[in-house]
Structure formats: structure tokens, C-alpha cells
Structure 1
Amino acid sequence: MSAAEPRRRGRPAGARSGDPATRERILAAARTEFSERGYDKASIRGIAKAAGVDAALVHHYFGPKDQVFEAAVELVFAPALDLPDVVARSAAGDMGERLTRFFLGIWENPVSRQPLLAVVRSAVANETAAAVFRRLVTVQLLRRVADELEGGDRELRAEMAAAQLVGVMMLRYVIRIEPIASADPEQVVAIAAPAVQRHLEPSRD
């Protein structure tokens, strides 16, 4: 292409269109941008600048901002995608403990906790971010957990168990209310797991 020839509309600039390293660099920049600025203040231009690419390339890979956010959330969410396997390996009587210990383990790890905090804060503050987060949680986790349960109202019971765990995580890691914020993880598991287990068990009526 000569210097005088105009660039074709929609062709991204700054990096090759099929380069996996470029895609991962954009995702890393997006995760940082959403973490530091939140969903509302994050921008495609800011993500592109941090990744060292043209904004058109971000659109080329991921589309508008909500889709960039969803791709970044999926990356952050990766450790939680093992949850259905944890449930499948659980006996009926210890599923609550396994789930509680699994979730607590993800949040106790600083590497996974920081991006999760950013995702949760964005979801709480912005309805578009909340819709993306809700869709991922529903499709990737809750429905797959519900499929492993027996009895009626499986999806509702899975959601009630998740609500119990989300409440613990919000108080411990986001709002940081004492004494739960500094309680020993084993103590948290011992107290929370029986409640989670009750939600997972089918009604005896």
C-alpha cells in the first residue's frame, strides 16, 4: 500500500490481525483498565493505549466495551470454571464443604482475588457490567452445578447456595467487615459449609 493510498475501512492498525500475543496483550490491558478505573471510566482508547495498539484493533478482536469486559471477565473467571468438576467429585453429604473450600481458596489467593475484586466492583456499580457478570455466572457455573444435584428446584437450590457463598465473599473480601474479614479460613469453612449444604440438599417434604 502506498503512502497516498487510504487504509481500507475497518482494517486495524498497529499489529497483525491474527497474532495471539496481541490478543492476550489487549486482554491483559483490559483487565488492568477495568480493575483500576472501573467499568464506567474504562475506555477502548485507554485499553488500546495500554496495550500499545490502535483502538480499531481492540474493536476488531472484541467489539464494543461490554464485549471487551466479558472477554476480560472470562479470563479472570477461569479458576472458577473447575467448580462443576469439584461438585461432580463430591459425595452428597460433603458437597457444601467442597464448594465452600473451593470458593474460599480462589479468593484467598492474591493472584485471583485482585481481578475478581475489580469484576465484582464493576458489576455492582454498572448494570451493563452486572448483566455480563450475571450471564457468565449463570451459564458457566450455576447451571452446571444444578445439573449435578438431585431432586426438584435444582437451579433455585444452586442459586441459594451461591448466594450464601457470595455473601461470605462480599463481607470478607469486598466490604471487609470484622471479625469475618480476618477470621481463619478454616473457621469460615466450618461455619459456612453446613448452611451451603442445606441449600444443596433436596427438600424432605
Structure 2
Amino acid sequence: MLVRMSERRRSGRWRTGQQSKQRIIEAARARFTREGYDGATIRAIAADAGVDVAMVYYFFDNKEGLFTASTLAGPEHPLQHLATVLDEGRDDVGPRLVRRFLQHWDEDAGFEPFLTLWRSAAIHPKARKVLHDSLAGPIASRIAEEFEVSDAELRVELVASHLAGLAFARYQLKIEPMASSSIEELVAWVGPTVQRYLTA
């Protein structure tokens, strides 16, 4: 009985800790969206999440760790979609990546976190390094191994830039006819180019 009660207490603490961690991530994402990497502070994020500042450091070590967790936790970046597509198989990876990327944005409104990620990476060297170390570098290594290609980092950055530009034109600027084109139309145009970036 005492063992079971102890296990329940540990389980309850774990769930509470995970809930606090999730609140911190959501608060950080909102702060980074509004204020960028430089403007957002650990103290303000902790206050928004209703936790002590020490808890933020306990879970994420520092501001860079929190930025990584909050901006890369969701499938906002094209290279996150690429990792998932590769997990599902190597055939027709370009068209499948474009389709998955567009379906995500067509189904899930909320382009701002993606813009925040790119803005922060553009203006802050530490944010840019976090983005590379956490995402671009590992994906490039995987592409080099899977497809036996050179210049893998250049290839994945070309993919990310191409899809980011497409998303910005379609969802932020709403440029026609891209904004009203069907997903399959865009897959037919962009998919072969992304395939060439990755495997040619």
C-alpha cells in the first residue's frame, strides 16, 4: 500500500511538472511571437506561465534552450516536415514534402509562429545558431546519408528557403494565383524542384 501511494505521488508530481513545462512553452512562444528573441525575457515568460523563474531554468537551462523548445516544438519549420516525410519513406520525397507542408498550413491557421522563428533567426546570431544546430544540421546529415549527396546543408537550406517563400506568398501576402491554387497544383509545380534539391 505504501509503495502504491508513493508511486501515485511520483506520478502526480510528474504530471504536474509536465503541465508546468507545457505552460512555459506556450508562454514563451507567445512572448517570442510578440517581442522577438531579444525582447522576451525569462522573468516575463515565467510570470505569464505562473511559475517561478527557477522552474524555467530547471527545464530549459537558459534562454536559448527555451527558444529551441518553444519555436521548434510544433511542426512550423519546413525541415521538421522533411524529417517526418523521410520517416515515412524515401520515394517521391519532394512532392510528399510540399504536400505535407501545404496541408499543414491549409488546415492549421496560425502563420505567426513561423514568421517569429524566421525573424528571430534573421536578426539574432544565437537564435540562428540554435535553429541550425537543432534542425538544419541534423537534417543535412540525414540527407547526406540517405541520398549520398554532397553539399547537404546547402540542399536543405534551399528546400527551407523555397518552402518558406511559398508559404509567405500564399498565407501572409496572399499573392494570386498562388493563394487560391489547389495544393495539388502547387505540388505539381514545386515538388519536382524540391526533389531535385534533395536528391539530384
TM tier, shorter chain? Answer: 0.7 to 0.9
Q: CA deviation at 1:66?
A: 1.6
Distance 1:170 1:122 in 2: 16
Distance 1:180 1:146 in 2: 35
Q: Residue 73 of structure 2 aligns to a residue in which SS?
A: helix
Letter in 1 for 2:70: A
Letter in 1 for 2:89: R
How many percent identity over aligned positions? 35
Q: C-alpha deviations, 1:80-124, integer Å up to 9, x for none? A: 646334235242xx2221121122223333356442232222222
Match of 2:58 in 1: 60
Q: 2:166 aligns with which of 156, 162, 168?
A: 168
Q: CA deviation at 1:74?
A: 2.9
Total equivalences in the alignment: 184
Residue segments in structure 2 that go unaligned for 5+ positions in a row: 1-12
Q: Residues 41, 159 of structure 1: CA spacing in aligned structure 2 closer, same or farther, 3 A cutoff?
A: closer
Match of 1:89 in 2: 89
Instruction: Write 1 or 2 for the structure with the bigger share of helix.
Output: 2
Q: TM-score, normalised by structure 1?
A: 0.73
Q: Say if 1:90 and 1:98, in contact at 8 Å, map to a contact too.
A: no
Q: What pairs up with 1:105-124 in 2 under 5 angstroms?
A: 105-110=103-108, 113-124=111-122
Considering only CA atoms, is the larger Rg found in Structure 1 or Structure 2? 1
Q: CA deviation at 1:146?
A: 3.5
Match of 2:97 in 1: 99
Q: Say if 2:140 and 2:152, in contact at 8 Å, map to a contact too.
A: no
- Aligned pair 1:43/2:41, yes or no? yes
Q: TM-score, normalised by structure 2?
A: 0.75
Match of 1:133 in 2: 131
Q: CA deviation at 1:143?
A: 2.7
Distance 2:164 2:48 in 1: 32
Q: Residues 120, 108 of structure 1: CA spacing in aligned structure 2 closer, same or farther, 3 A cutoff?
A: farther
Match of 1:10 in 2: none
